[in-house]
Structure 1
């Protein structure tokens, strides 16, 4: 870890704090992994670390989540790439949640998990006591927003704090100037309409506890609005929603690095495989390009285009530069923002014939316009020609999920490259 001078950079508002702070030599790209397959693709597409959920104590109870055996396999795969695996244990525990906690944490340690992400002091203290090889990272659920609170958690023995989403980039730079600790911040993905996830709408509407992993995303429902028993919205007009636009900081990588953020966190353990791979790939290229030559760094339009091919909602910069206003929320139903659907994954490629075996993930057929992309520079467009099954029988379409289809590609591809199709 080195001490470096904070550069003076231009933001949308005022210049940030200038001083000294501690940071990792290169920011970590931390990706979500809702299941084992997503973990492998996130790491393959460039994540330095992934965060997952186990069968207990996490805030995404509706994700596939991991058994201990799957965790061990995920850790083994990640280690081959020099990546780490973190486990979210970020619920606020009730009395009935405590039973079995010590054994669960010991199992995580035995599985090779590098760190847990925790908010409840009981979980934090228990991990430090019974599983000392596990790092404990403070969850964003603690809503930590100032350097004195960060220092408190450092003094409690935590090496990393995940800041609340409401922290500005100027505040982050000031935190780094005062406290020699790793800072993790969300830089992409869904934003909660409540204060760092402390919403109780789900509890009231569906009896599903947001702070114990059961959020039903009430803010993204469609509502009718009444005033004095008169229906204002919902009868002759589109129904009202109150959800936030998604966060996207891809255009601001230099600012994030100069502020001293150590770990760039992507939200989305419930998102698709295509989303995870696409977003990780874009940020990986941007980070590496900046670190290779900061003085001549330029944002490439294709990175933003790729993000848009995977995103479902409009985006903004969250709280990094200013406080979000009405324009940063979604009040009306949106048109489908994604012009592409995930169509397949390359299983194998024969250089002598130019034939690829593609595992189908969405319906496609001869004549479909597709794109291939991968983490090692693979990117090209083509129209699907003749397709067959693996026995050589001709097919008029790839209709069946996970069906293996043989097709000719116009350029070489690699296993785990992806194919997406243009939606007309």
Structure 2
């Protein structure tokens, strides 16, 4: 076995989530090297929109036409009743030709190896990948990549890199929500609601507000506080490693993964564009990267988030990585939609996501990093009628702005205090 000795000069892959065909196209245009998606079964985001067979094929073809890879999740912990369906599913995926399958269950792995011999297999973080012998175990079985457990430090990941083959890849989370349970193996959702997180149906009870009830005093709800003995709430801040790309590369990580397969196109565009520029700047020079740090920090805060932490990467998290007073997101911008085709009148198609009005100042978000403030000049509905505002979600509109946008630009507006 050849051990890797120098991986710090590899260009890391930027791996971005997509919940729908529209979001996949956004991820591609805003800088993703690869996109991971889920089908209608066998993934761990049952509440996400997910991809129909038709949209999955369109998405794979679109991504490949732009030089971007597509990985499909099939990372449930399977029961007996799942196995026959998995065989059929993998047979269909074989014809669609994604670049990799993301799997955690050994039974699912066995079926995938049997049916999809030509497709890479990546081992999901759900498999609790915390040491180099685990990586080597999966490598010997034929896995190309292993997703590191979120509980690993960069020091541990670097040690793993030093003990595994050169051609084995490490994928690690770079940004997004943190699960309170070990590598996502949570039983709270199943216990409280009967919806199994390990079957893709998590209801996120870790974000709920809890009190204590003493058994002899039913109905008396005592608040839960943090003290010096430990943490009693489950609500983690979001992971953000935008300031630590040099350390991530030095650890030998091949793929920087963004969490968020239930997020909007605005979220995906914002995070993908910011990390794309940060990675590319660092590869030019560390000084270029440092010079642009303020821009990265400002931009990454323009998507919804829960405050930021570096997770386990620099040691075990302390009380500052949790949020104790609420479970809500910070939201600075509202998503309006993705710019579509231009008609013969110079108007652009938009399937509207949130309300905006004629005369309002909004922002055009471009893949190259530009943010252009512009005014809404007109809004026309499908019937050709002009309207002063667009109050109804998913209205199909034609709009004109005082600055001409491009297809696939994102429109957003800054939240105002009211």
TM-score by length of 2: 0.89
Deviation at 1:100, TM superposition (A): 2.6
Q: 2:70 aligns with which of 42, 66, 85?
A: 85
Query: Where does residue 390 of structure 2 map in the other structure?
Result: 398
2:228 maps to which residue?
none
Q: 2:94 aligns with which of 73, 87, 109?
A: 109
1:204 and 2:191 correspond: yes
1:121-270 pair list within 5 angstroms:
121-180=106-165, 181-227=168-214, 229=217, 230-233=220-223, 242-270=234-262
* CA displacement at 1:393 relative to structure 2: 4.5
1:308 shift after superposition: 1.1
Q: CA deviation at 1:241?
A: 5.1
Quote the Cα distance in structure 2 between the aligned partners of 1:327 and 1:279. Answer: 23
2:268 equivalent in structure 1: 276
* Selected match of 2:305 from 312, 317, 328: 312
Question: Contact 1:245–1:328 (CA<8 Å) still a contact in 2?
Answer: yes
Q: Which of 8, 12, 25 is the aligned partner of 1:27?
A: 12
Give structure 1 regions of 4+ aligned residues with deviation exceeding 6 angstroms. none
Task: Label 1:395 to 1:100 Cα distance change in 2 as closer, same or farther (>3 A).
Answer: closer
CA distance in 2: counterparts of 1:23 and 1:50, whole angstroms: 23
Distance in 1 of aligned mates of 2:117 and 2:9: 22
Check conservation: 2:339, 2:406, Cα contact below 8 A: yes
Change (3 A) 1:96 1:3: closer
SS at match of 1:384: strand
Which runs of 5 or more residues in structure 2 are unaligned? 225-231
Query: Does 2:52 match 1:67?
Result: yes
Matched, 1:46 2:31: yes
The residue matched to 1:100 in structure 2 has which SS? helix
Asked whether the 8 Å contact 2:304–2:332 carries over to 1, the reply is: no
Alignment correspondent of 2:324: 331
Change (3 A) 1:48 1:406: same
How many Å separate the matches in 2 of 1:247 and 1:158? 27
Which residue of 360, 363, 366 corresponds with 2:355? 363
Q: 1:297 matched to which residue of 2?
A: 289
Contact 2:122 2:144 in 1 (8 A): yes
Q: Which residue of 2 aligns with 1:11?
A: none
- Residue 93 and residue 356 in structure 1: after superposition, are their counterparts in 2 closer, same or farther (change >3 A)? closer
- TM superposition score normalised by structure 1: 0.88
Q: CA deviation at 1:288?
A: 1.1
The alignment status of 1:343 with 2:336, answered yes or no, reads yes
Residue of structure 2 equivalent to 1:384: 376
- Bigger drift between 328-337 and 33-42 goes to 328-337
Q: What whole-Å deviation, never above 9, does each CA across 1:52-111 have from its counterpart, x for those lacking one?
A: 111221111111222222211111000111111111111111111112322211211110
Q: Distance in 1 between matches of 2:327 and 2:187?
A: 25
Q: Conserved in 2, the CA contact under 8 Å of 1:106 and 1:130? A: yes
Structure 1 residues 126 and 344 mapped into 2: Cα distance closer, same or farther (>3 Å)? closer
- Kept in 1, the 8 Å contact 2:173–2:257? The answer is yes
CA contact (8 A) 1:34 1:63 kept: yes
Residues 118 and 334 of structure 1: is their aligned pair in 2 closer, same or farther, counting only changes over 3 Å?
A: closer
SS of residue matched to 2:389? coil
What corresponds to 2:85 in structure 1? 100
Q: Tell me whether 295-304 or 135-144 shows the greater mean CA deviation.
A: 295-304
Pair 1:223–1:397, CA change in 2 (3 A): same
Distance (whole Å) between structure 2 residues aligned to residue 189 and residue 141 of structure 1: 16
Distance 1:125 1:407, change over 3 A: same
Q: Comparing 375-384 with 255-264, which one deviates more in the overlay?
A: 375-384
Are the structure 2 counterparts of residues 222 and 86 from structure 1 closer, same or farther at C-alpha, using a change threshold of 3 Å? same
User: In 1, Cα distance between the equivalents of 2:339 and 2:267?
Assistant: 16
Q: Which residue of the partner structure matches residue 14 of structure 1? A: none
The question of whether the paired residues in 1 share the 8 Å contact of 2:243 and 2:293 is answered with: no
What number of residue pairs does the alignment pair up? 401
Give 3-state SS (helix, strand or coil) of 2:78's partner.
Answer: coil
Q: C-alpha offsets along residues 326-373 of structure 1, whole Å, 9 cap, x if unaligned?
A: 2111221156511210113222458x9976444422111134231111
**Structure 1 residue 152 displacement after superposition:** 1.5
* Deviates further, 287-296 or 83-92: 287-296
Q: CA RMSD in A?
A: 2.4
Give the match's secondary structure for 1:56. coil
Structure 1: which 5+ runs fail to align?
5-19, 235-239
Question: SS at the partner of 2:269?
Answer: helix
